Structure 1
Amino acid sequence: MEVKEQLKLKELLFIMKQMPRTIKLILTLERSLFLKLIFFSVITGVLPIVSLYISQELINSLVSIRKDVSIVITIFLTYLGVSFCSEIISQISDYYNGKFQLNIGYKLNYKVMKKSSNLALKDFENPQIYDKLERVTKEISYKPYQIIQAIITMTTSFVTLLTSIAFLMSWNPKVSLLLLVIPVISLFYFLKIGQQEFFIQWKRAGQERKSWYISYILTHDFSFKELKLYNLKDYLLKRYWSIKKSFIAQDTKILRKKTYLNLIYEIAVQLVGAVIIFIAIMSAFAGKIMVGNVMSYIRSVSLVQSHSQSIMTSIYSIYNSNLYMNQLYEFLELEEESNQLSNQAKQKVDPLHSISFQNVSFTYPNQEKQTIKHVNVTLQKGERVAIVGPNGSGKSTLIKLLTGLYEVQQGDIAINRKSIKELDMDSYMKQIAVLFQDFMKYEMTLKENIGFGQIKKLNQTQSMYEVLDIVKADFLKDHSSYQLDTQLGVWFDEGRQLSGGQWQKIALARAYFREASMYILDEPSAALDPIAEKETFDTFFSLSKDKIGIFISHRLVAAKLADRIIVMDNGEIVGIGKHEELLKTCPLYKKMDESENYMNPLEEERSKWKEAQYQG
């Protein structure tokens, strides 16, 4: 929905028409509690006029010429009974209200997280969808509840307003209707401010995300070293406060408008109320009505004033929050990955024995240049393949297409001679284990960090110890306190921080814990020392035997050991073959080899030692 700053009647009607949809959503999540709250809100709305009528009769019985003590006591006891019932109902309603607020917030947040997990990777790389997600998640804990609270409050106020108007109309219909004129006129202006307030919030979602990010890097451990060393604190704080100052100015402007409107409204309502009360007093003075009636009419006017204001505030809140709800609906209606939506009708995948890229091309959204161009290559079971090339050559994009994280736009990928578009992607992904360059460091237990590789085996602790031995995570054995239930990271109590290389070993264990038929390593040596790097490739070559093994690297030392090397540049494959063959046929590969060998004597000796280790 396009949000405009000018309020028009058709837009107001459109927003209010969303109410049934919102109520339907709430009934789906919390039907029983919602219906209970509506029931109690109706009872709560009737009780004030009942109490008012009883107090009127009590006063009239006291000033009556023919006083009867038994009648006075009966009315008094009835008044106490209504008061006690009102208090009991209020407490029960507050209990259900609190329970409803807890449940609806958690359930809607769960719904949003579930939706997010079903989106495609390209959605998380789209700033517009990120802004939409920011708007939704920022207010998910209270905006939907705010609507329901407004509906309940409006229901109570509406019942009280109707009964109060009816009570006054039994005395003077024309004067009673006068009380409704000002709220109706004021409603339009309240809603206009509501739209302006929402528009401000909607427009600044991108800046909100920037301020959140600045706050995030200023308050977490991963960034502390650079912030301290480069003295970035003052610069980042200044940027954060600059954003927030503009927010304060915007919010203050809206607050000022609301205050002015409320003041004008209250003055007008008080003047009308004063006229009605004056008429009631003069009627009593003339002997047309009793003193108790005057008191009840004064209270009725007060009830009409307060509850008409409450209704307007509720409508304002519903309107403003429904604008938010439209954003929520738009997010929940985002297209999910087509493969995930139709998995039941697609073919299950057996262990992989061949993968063939068939004239595959790919372009990122909002970009004209193709990242992958007409790629044709086949990978076979039992083959270890290295993919090399400069930064931006398309290596990582190729892997994302291969693993199903991106959908193929042009061409096709044949998996076991079947189109990837015809496969059940869940079963296909179960055959793949990947160590990404930007692998996750789960601030959870060691058991979870490994077990996430194959969640169904989360309780197979013996297998976890075995895979830790395979990746040679000796740093864990050096500490007897490191058990599988050890908390890793520093975000939570008793967490143990690890170095970059140690975290990578854990991520490698997670990948190998998966019973896959294709193993992929994306720049596995980035955080490793030479010995650890050699161990990593030894393990990779061992575990990927009789399987499909792929690794991406900028360096050629390990690539020389692969069965085949694929050289990429500007999204194209510019060479395929063994090391010696590529030196003769691929100019880019030859240049990479020469650059790698152009080192000072110390680095050259280190390179020779490293290559000897690999060969050994």
Structure 2
Amino acid sequence: MKRRPLVWVFKFFFASSSLPFVWMSLSGLVQAGLAAVSLLLLRDLVDGRGQSSSTLVWLSVGYLLSALVLPNAINILIQMFREAVVRRSQQDLTWKLMQKSARIRMDRLEDSNYQDVVSAVTKADSSVMINYWQCVQEVILSVLRIVSVGAVLTSFYWGIPLVVFASVLPELWMRLRFAKLQHRMHLDQSAVERRATYFAELLTNRESLKELRTSAVEKFLFGKWWAQKDSYDRKDLAFDRKRQSYFGAGHLLFLTAITISMYFMVKWVMGGQTSVGALTSAIFALNTIMGSMGSLLYNVGQVQHQQLLVETTIGFLQDTDVEQPDMSDLQDVEAPFDIRFEGVSFKYPDSDSYALQDVTFTISHGERLALVGANGSGKSTLIRLLLGLSRPTAGCIYVNGVPLDNCSLAKYREHVTVAFQDFAQYHRTVRENIGFGHLPSLPVQPLLEQAAEQSGAAEFISRLPQGYDQQLGAAYHNGVDLSGGQWQKTAMARAYLRPATLLVMDEPTASLDPLAEVEVYRQFSELAEGKTALLVSHRLGSATLADRILVLKQGKLVEVGNHQGLLRESGEYAKLFTSQAQWYRQDEEQGGVQDEHRVADVHL
């Protein structure tokens, strides 16, 4: 056993629940010592014909206490202490895991291999740790019981304990080997298990079921789930059959050694070479050794397997590849600030191609920029880099001339507000859904209402039964569902609530109706006054709001300029804009509904 995880687990439990943890550990040691004491008392009791009646009574009482009463009472105490340790330590472990998960770099979290680790670790709880500790303790206690009880067998012949101990070595080696193989197999199977879990979630999630039923693909997905689950179970069962066959052969060797030992012991008693009390004690000793050997073998394998799980958890908690390490020399970011991308390139993990390549531009304070380009051109990647959610693979991002890596991201983000295209839907109250944008403003009702007005959410909030205190999410008691557009307006209110210098809007109108979209752009224009604003949109008409337009194509910045200037250049922007304009005009010529939004989208 490696010392590192054992010491880490000891310190973890001692820090979180010292008293019950110490009593749980000491109780096990007392229990182990009682086994040898009970055998000695049993031998004297059986051979005690010449003893006084009071001595025999005390021997009987002592044997019952050491063999039955005290071990069972200690078992109850150990379970009570264990429950106390688990309850007190679970919160500490969960807190550590959440803290670390919140700091790991986004690029790392999106790595498929690392996701297998995250999946295993996030399922961990303190019972994994306590099971590991108790298995280690049980290995030690089993060895103590075997050694102390084995001393009783030396009253027959010193070679008997050696034969018994030697017979268990093959099974011990096999259990250690299979523990490593089992852990490796579970890691290999993690991807299969995640896919099976995903299909199961699709088939039980209320939102996805609406589309699945109308598309009649439930049976297809069930087949996919069954295939993944069947593959997992087949490998698991095959491994288990192989393991049990090896364990069975090893255990058969151990039982053979016990049987041979019993044969010789009975033969020696019949020949008068030892007493009946010693034989009785030896029989119980062999029974105890068999139980202790079984416990030793089982727990050695469990320690090996659980130690690997514990090491994975410790490795995750001690991972230094965090978003921003603790550094005393990080510089605070003060507003106003300019931002410069200098030769920035970025490549996602496990990808051979660059999502962004050699991008250089400057965002000056108070400037309004629009970021446009076809799907997959690198717009979302650029936003991630701008927000510090990912680090450039090459190049550097500067804030007022200071590399972003040298700036405090926490201070930097205090000056940034963002509405994401793939916004979060918090199944909490409306108040919290908006207030999460700026927690200090959460209890200030006028600020929440102002943000809701600016985003267009105030209208539907006023119709909710409990207004700003309405629980969202139909899965919860008295919860209500919102439409896609209502969720988006709520997310935008969250962004508007935050008093920031840099306003980033990533496809802010994807789920809105035409009139609401026009209103959003009007509000955005007003809110951007005196701030730096970056608008990402497929609606190229909205780009006319910007002072400058950045055009991305296949990860490269191909054009920079204003709307009229880029149209005159007849480049990528003109091509995209003209394509959208022709679609709108063609639709109108074919007798489509005259949509105010479409006209506004082209001629903003």
Deviations 1:345-401 (A, max 9, x none): 111111234222233333333444333233332223332222112112222222111
Matched residue, 1:4: none
Matches within 5 A, 1:181-200: 181-200=166-185
* Pair 242,401 (structure 1): closer, same or farther in 2 beyond 3 Å: same
Superposition deviation, residue 121 in structure 1: 1.3
Q: Which residues in structure 2 correspond to 1:457-472 (within 5 Å)?
A: 457-472=441-456
**Cα 1:589–1:367 shift into 2, 3 Å:** same
What stretches of structure 1 of length at least 5 have no aligned partner? 1-12
Give the superposition deviation at 1:195: 2.3
Quickly say closer, same or farther: Cα 1:285–1:353, change in 2 above 3 A: closer
Stretch moving more, 42-51 or 276-285: 276-285
What amino acid does structure 2 have at the position aligned with 1:605? Q
Q: Report the AA paired with residue 472 of structure 1.
A: G
1:403 is matched with which residue? 387
- Counterparts of residues 307-326 of structure 1 (less than 5 Å): 307-326=292-311
TM-score (norm 1): 0.90
Is it true that 1:114 corresponds to 2:75 in the alignment?
no
Q: By how many angstroms is 1:441 displaced?
A: 0.7
Please point out which of 483, 489, 504 is paired with 1:520: 504
Shift of 1:504: 0.5
Match of 1:497 among 481, 497, 506: 481
* Cα deviation 1:313-354 (Å, max 9, x = unaligned): 11111112223333334433433236x214531111112342
AA matched with 2:240: L
1:442 has 2:431 as partner: no
- Residue type of the partner of 1:290? S
Encode CA deviations 1:261-305: one digit per residue, 9 max, x unaligned.
343344333332233333333333344433322211100011111
* AA in 2 matched with 1:455: L
Instruction: State the distance in 1 between where 2:367 and 2:522 align.
Output: 15
Mapped pair 1:125 → 2:110: yes
1:3 matched residue in structure 2 = none
Contact (CA 8 Å) 2:5, 2:314: kept in 1 or not?
Answer: no
Task: In structure 2, give the amino acid aligned to 1:502.
Answer: Q
Provide the rounded CA distance (Å) in 2 between the counterparts of 1:17 and 1:577: 58
Task: Report SS of the residue matched to 2:595.
Answer: helix
Residues 612 and 203 (structure 1), Cα distance of their counterparts in 2 relative to 1, 3 Å cut:
closer
Instruction: Tell me the equivalent position of 2:53.
Output: 69
Matched residue type, 2:32:
G
Q: For residues 607 and 585 of structure 1, what CA distance do their matches in structure 2 show?
A: 28
Counterpart of 2:38, as a letter, is S
Structure 1 partner of 2:402: 418
Which residue is equivalent to 2:377? 393
What is the one-letter code of the residue matched to 2:504?
A: I
Distance 1:80 1:550 in 2: 80
Residues 126-158 of structure 1 show CA distances to partners (whole Å, capped at 9, x for unaligned) of 111112212333455654333222112223322
1:28-177 alignment, distance < 5 Å: 29-61=16-48, 64=49, 66=50, 68-82=52-66, 83-140=68-125, 142-177=127-162
What residue identity is the alignment partner of 2:435?
A: G
Three-state SS of the structure 1 residue aligned to 2:469 is coil
Q: In structure 2, which of residues 537, 550, 555 is the aligned counterpart of residue 566 of structure 1?
A: 550
The 8 Å contact of residues 105 and 145 in structure 1, kept in 2 or not, is answered as no
2:506 paired with 1:506:
no
Query: What does residue 6 of structure 1 align with?
Result: none
TM-fit CA distance, 1:578: 2.7
- Cα deviation code 1:40-94 (max 9, x no counterpart): 1111111122223223322333xx1x45222222223333444433333221111
What is the rounded CA distance, in whole Å, between the counterparts of 1:609 and 1:188 in structure 2?
74
Partner of 2:226: helix, strand, or coil? helix
**Cα drift, residue 484 of structure 1:** 3.3
Q: Is the 8 A contact 2:168 2:253 kept in 1?
A: no
CA spacing shift, 1:614–1:488, aligned 2, 3 Å: farther
Percent identical among aligned pairs is 26
Q: 1:451 and 1:336 mapped to 2: Cα distance?
A: 30
Q: Structure 1 residue 475: deviation in Å?
A: 4.4
Seen in structure 2, the aligned counterparts of structure 1 residues 89 and 462 have a Cα distance that, compared at 3 Å, is farther
The 8 Å contact of residues 343 and 425 in structure 1, kept in 2 or not, is answered as no
Per the alignment, residue 546 of structure 1 pairs with 530
Q: 1:181 to 1:550 in 2, by over 3 A?
A: same
Among residues 570, 589, 600, which one is paired with 2:587 in the alignment?
600
Q: Secondary structure at the match of 1:387?
A: strand
Matching residue of 1:360: 344
- Rounded to whole Å, the distance in 1 between the matches of 2:472 and 2:250 is 58
C-alpha spacing 1:518/1:165, structure 2 compared with 1 (3 Å):
same
2:255 paired residue number: 270
Report which stretch shifted further, 69-78 or 521-530.
Answer: 69-78
Q: State the alpha-carbon separation in 1 of the partners of residues 351 and 443 from structure 2.
A: 45
| Segment drifting more, 68-77 vs 397-406 | 68-77
**Unmatched tracts of structure 2, length 5 or more:** none
1:382-433 Cα distance to aligned partner (Å, 9 max, x none):
3222211211222222211111112134333332333323211110011111
User: Which residues in structure 2 correspond to 1:332-343 (within 5 Å)?
Assistant: 332-337=317-322, 340-343=324-327
- Tell me the CA shift for residue 474 of structure 1: 3.5
Report if the CA contact (8 A) 2:132-2:306 is conserved.
yes
Q: Does the 8 A contact of 1:136 with 1:328 survive in 2?
A: yes
Match of 1:584 among 568, 587, 591: 568
1:279 aligned partner: 264
Q: Flag the 1:524–1:20 CA change in 2: closer, same or farther, 3 A.
A: same
Counterpart Cα distance in 1 of 2:107 and 2:4: 33
- CA distance, structure 2, for counterparts of residue 18 and residue 612 of structure 1: 61
| Distance (whole Å) between structure 2 residues aligned to residue 429 and residue 260 of structure 1 | 59
Worse-matched range after superposition: 594-603 or 204-213: 594-603
Provide the alpha-carbon RMSD of the alignment: 2.6
TM-score (ref. length: structure 2): 0.92
Asked if structure 1 preserves the Cα contact closer than 8 Å seen for 2:581 and 2:602, the reply is no
Matches of 2:239 and 2:91 in 1, distance apart? 30
User: Retained in 1: the 8 A contact 2:111–2:350?
Assistant: no
- How far the C-alpha of 1:557 sits from its partner, in A, is 2.2
Query: Contact 1:344–1:424 (CA<8 Å) still a contact in 2?
Result: no
Question: Offset at 1:544?
Answer: 1.8
CA contact (8 A) 1:104 1:145 kept: no
Contact 1:372 1:397 (C-alpha < 8 Å) held by counterparts? yes
CA distance in 1, matches of 2:521, 2:157: 92
**Aligned partner letter, 1:54:** L
1:188-215 CA distance string (max 9 Å, x none): 1222222222222121221111111111
* Equivalent-residue separation in structure 2 for 1:247 and 1:581 (angstroms): 59
The correspondence of residues 227-246 of structure 1 with structure 2, limited to 5 A, is: 227-246=212-231
Identify if the C-alpha distance between structure 1 residues 371 and 315 changes in structure 2 by more than 3 Å, giving closer, same or farther.
same
Q: Residue 291 of structure 2 corresponds to which residue in structure 1? A: 306
Q: CA deviation at 1:234?
A: 0.9
| Cα-to-partner distance string for 1:566-601 (whole Å, 9 max, x where unaligned) | 222222333333322221024222222221222311
